[in-house]
Chains A and B, each alone.
Chain A
Amino acid sequence: MDFFQRALIGGALIAAAGPLLGLFLVLRRLSMIGDTLSHVSVAGVAAGYLLGLGSPAAGGMAAALLATLAIERLRKAYKTYAELSIAIMMAGGIALASLLFSLDRGFGVNITSYLFGSIYTLDTADLIWIAAVTILVLAAVLLQYKEWFLMTFDEDAAAVGGLPTRTLNLIMSVLTALVISVSIKIVGALLVSALLTIPAACGLLAARSFRQSVLLAVGIAEAAVLAGLLAAGYWNLAPGGTVVLLLIAVLLAQLVIKRRLSL
C-alpha cells in the first residue's frame, strides 16, 4: 500500500465515524466540544513526545479522554457557564501544546503537522487505530440508535423512561474523544471539528427524517473527503483544508438551492 492509498482508507473511515457522532453533538448543542478536545489532544501529543512515549498519539488520546471527563464535571458544576469552561479548556490546550513543543526542539516533528494534519504520513499502525475506533462508533450507533435518538430529542422523556442517561452520555463523550484523537493526523487539530459538524449541518438542512439526516451526513462527508483528497493529491494542495472547504461549498450550495426553491 502506498501513502496515498493509506490516506484514502483513513479518510474514508473517519468520514463515517466523525459525522455520525457529530450529528448527535450538533443536535445536543455541543458543537464546540470537538474543538476543545482536539486542542487538548495536541497538548497530549506534545507531552507524549516529551515523556518519550513510544506512541505520542497515545498521549493525545489520553489527553482527549481526560478532557472529556473534565468537561462533563465542569458542565455539572457550572451549568450556566458551560461554554465558558469549554472555551478555557480549548485555549489552555493549545497554549500548553505550543509551550511543550517549544521545550524540546528535537522532536523531529513540528506542531504544524498536528495543527493542520499530515494525512500522507499515516502508517499501518495509525490505520489500525482509525479502523478500530470507526468500528466502535458504528457498533455503538447501531446498538444504541434508539437510545441516542431519544436522549438527543427529549432528554426528560429519556430519563422518565428509565434510560441510563449518564452512562449513555459517557459512552458518547468517550467515543467523541477517541474519534477526535485519531482524526488529528488526517485533517489536523484546527479542522477536526469541521469534519464532525459541517456534514451534520448539511444533513440537517436536507433531510426530512432523522434516519435520512444520518445517512446524508455520512454520505456527504465520504464524498467530500474522497474528492478532496484526490484533488489535493492532483494539484498538490493541503489535504485537510481542501476537504473542509469542499464541505463548506456543499453546505453553501445547499443553502442557495433551498432559497431558490422557496422563492
Chain B
Amino acid sequence: MPTGRIPEGPGCHQPVIELSDVSFAYERRPIIEHLHFTVRERDFALLAGPNGAGKTTLLKLIVGLLEPDGGEVRLFGEPARRFRQRERIGYVPQKNAFNPLFPATVREVVLSGMYGRHKLFRRLTKADYQKVDDAMQALGIEDLAGKRIGMLSGGQQQRVFLARALVNSPALLILDEPTVGIDAETQDSFYHLIRHMHQHHNITFLMVSHDRERFRSYLDDAPAAEAGRLKFYVRHSHDREDCVETDLTHSLREYRRAAEEPALVR
C-alpha cells in the first residue's frame, strides 16, 4: 500500500460525500426528502436508523447505484452516478450477504477486492498479489488463507471482508452493518481496530448501523442530518491538523503487536 504525504491544512478536508437537496421515493412512497449532508475527508460518519428506514436505499444513492429523484449526490466532487475511480471506495458488506456454502477460500475472497472496474478484463500483477498478502497479514488472517470462507467464525469472516476492502488502500471505507450476528467481545475488538484506522490514516468512514449506542462516545451527540427515521452522526476531522498518511499495513501490524489483541486466529 502506498506511503506518502498529502497536502497539509485544508487540503485534507475536501468533501468526500455530498448530498444536496436529495429526494428519493420507492413505489411512490417518499423515503428521503430534501436531504443535505456532507462528509469530508477523515470524517467518521454513522448512518443510523431502524430496519426499513431506508438505510440500504440511501447507501445505494451515495455509491451511485441509484439515481435520486431530486437533488444531487457527489462522490469526491463528481456526480456519484458517473464516478469512475471505484477503487477509492472500500466496501464491507453485511455478514449475511454471501452464501456460506460458496466454495471460495479466504485468499480468493480477499483477492476479489482487486476485481473492480480499474482491473476490468486486465490481468492482476505481482504487485496486486503482494497487496493481497499484505492486507491478509495486516489483519492477522494469513494463516487462514487456504480455508473456505464459510468455515470461519463470524469475527474471522469480518476480518476477511475488511482485508478485501483495504487491498486498494481506499480513501472511503463503507461498512454496512459490519457486526450483525457477531458476539460482543469480537465486536469490541473489531471497533477498536476501526477506531485505530480512523485515527491514524487518511480514511473517511461511512458506517451503516441500527445501533447508535455503541458509538455514542465517539460521535457528536446531535445528528448532523436527518431524513425520516434515518439519522446521520459525525465525528468531524477539522480539529485535526495532521494529514500525513502512514503505511496502512505497517501500522496495522504495529497495532496488533501493541494491543496484543486477543488471538482471533488460532
Contact = CB atoms under 8 A, between A and B. Distances in A.
Interface of A: 27, 143-144, 146-147, 149-150, 152-154, 156-164, 203-204, 207-213
A143 B91 contact: no
B103 A160 contact: no
B103 A207 contact: yes
A161 B91 contact: yes
B115 A161 contact: yes
Nearest to B83: A162
DSSP class of A's interface residues: helix, strand, loop or mixed?
helix
A163 to B, nearest CB: 6
Interface stretch (B39-47, B117-125, B193-201, B240-248): B117-125
A27 B104 CA distance: 11
20 contacts: A146-B119, A150-B115, A153-B112, A157-B93, A157-B112, A158-B115, A160-B89, A161-B86, A162-B116, A162-B118, A163-B115, A204-B101, A204-B103, A208-B103, A208-B146, A209-B105, A209-B148, A210-B103, A210-B104, A210-B105
A209 B104 contact: yes
Contact of B103 (A150, A161, A209): A209
B97 interface: yes
Contacts of B101: 204
The 7 closest A-B pairs by CB, nearest first: A161-B116, A162-B117, A162-B86, A146-B115, A150-B115, A213-B103, A209-B105
Interface of B: 63, 65, 84, 86-87, 89, 91, 93, 97-99, 101-105, 107-109, 112, 114-121, 124, 146, 148, 164, 174
Contact of B102 (A153, A156, A160, A212): A153
A159 B108 CA distance: 18
A204 B99 CA distance: 12
A207 B84 CA distance: 36
A213 B115 CA distance: 19
A154 B93 contact: yes
A156 B98 CA distance: 10
Nearest to B56: A156
Contacts of B99: 27
Nearest to A168: B120
A156 B97 contact: yes
B100 to A, nearest CB: 12
A159 B103 contact: no
A210 to B, nearest CB: 5
Nearest to A208: B148
Given A209-B105, A210-B108, A149 B91 contact: no
B178 to A, nearest CB: 14
Given A153-B98, A154-B97, A156-B93, A163 B116 contact: yes
B148 A162 contact: no
A203 B103 CA distance: 9
Contacts of B93: 154, 156-157
Given A208-B105, A209-B103, A210-B103, A160 B112 contact: no
